Amino acid sequence: MSKDGPMMVSSSHRISDVVEGIRDGLLFIPLYLPLAIAYAIAAKIAGLAEWEIILWSAVIFAGSAQLACLSALTTGAGMIELLIITFMANARHGLIAMGIAPYLGGVTRRAMPLLGFTLSTSSIGLLPAKAARGENVQAYGLATQFCQWAQWVLFTFFGVWLGPLVPAAWTPVLGFAVPVAFLGMVAPLVRASRWSGFLVAIVSVALGLGLTVFWPPQICAIVGALGGAVAGLLIPEGGDCDKR
């Protein structure tokens, strides 16, 4: 990729990048579908209006933060606590942005805000992989990230409609949607790097459980996740003990 400025690409290549981006974005349907439905149902239970539920998804586009805030709302959290939870839940996007920044040399300034708005956890793998093939990431990144944003909003609509049909006895199960989804995303990384994955898990568990003595569980879970992410950045990949 050129480091001197935006890469010039033909219309045919740009269309190909858009198609590839949409294709890759659709791979995340199994992740967004259960999360968005769980969020919409939980929001209905928390007393949010339907338009508020959908507006959250369209404007915030942060499933874990939305669910964490709903969980805190149902336990009587105030505005200050909600702001702290939202900030801490979304702080990971700062780490994601720093991780993909070296691969965005071909992205124009006008496209940067759009990429930033639709930035998701999956971007940390998709965009560098696209750039590593020597291809321009702008059209691809916008396509794959807006595809995921559209899924999140669409599935939220679906969850709002489905909510009244879900038996009340099933609602406690919705709390498992977020942990299961994120475990599914993290598991392949831990398997590929067992020693560093083990250390990251230890840091996350120690912070997430240990701090419950002082803070609410919702905040502790987010602190544990951020602590694990920082530990993952500090642990060198070469330090793995399970090399073949």
Q: How would DSSP label each residue in the chain? A: --SSSPPP--HHHHHHHHHHHHHHHHTTHHHHHHHHHHHHHHHHHHT--HHHHHHHHHHT--HHHHHHHHHHHHTT--HHHHHHHHHHHHTHHHHHHHHHGGG-TT--TTTHHHHHHT--TTHHHHHHHHHHTT---HHHHHHHHHHHHHHHHHHHHHHHHHGGGS-GGGGGGGGGHHHHHHHHHHHHHHHHSHHHHHHHHHHHHHHHHHGGGTS-HHHHHHHHHHHHHHHHHHS-GGG-S---
Q: pLDDT tens digits for 185-234?
A: 555 555 556 777 788 788 888 887 888 888 776 677 777 777 877 887 77
**Domain residue spans of the chain:** 11-173, 193-244
Q: Does the structure show a pLDDT above 90 at 149?
A: yes
Instruction: Provide the mean pLDDT of the chain.
Output: 77
Give the chain's length.
Answer: 244
- pTM of this prediction exceeds 0.75: no
Q: What percent of the chain has pLDDT over 70?
A: 79
d(CA 80, CA 71): 15
Q: pLDDT tens digits for 34-75?
A: 888 888 888 887 788 999 999 999 998 887 778 777 877 777
CA dihedral sign of residues 215, 178, 170, 52: positive
pLDDT given at position 22 = 93
Mean pLDDT of 6-22: 73
d(CA 147, CA 241): 38
Q: pLDDT grade, residue 129 (50/70/90)?
A: confident
pLDDT given at position 148 = 93
Q: pLDDT grade, residue 6 (50/70/90)?
A: very low
Mean pLDDT of 74-103: 78
Mean pLDDT of 116-127: 84
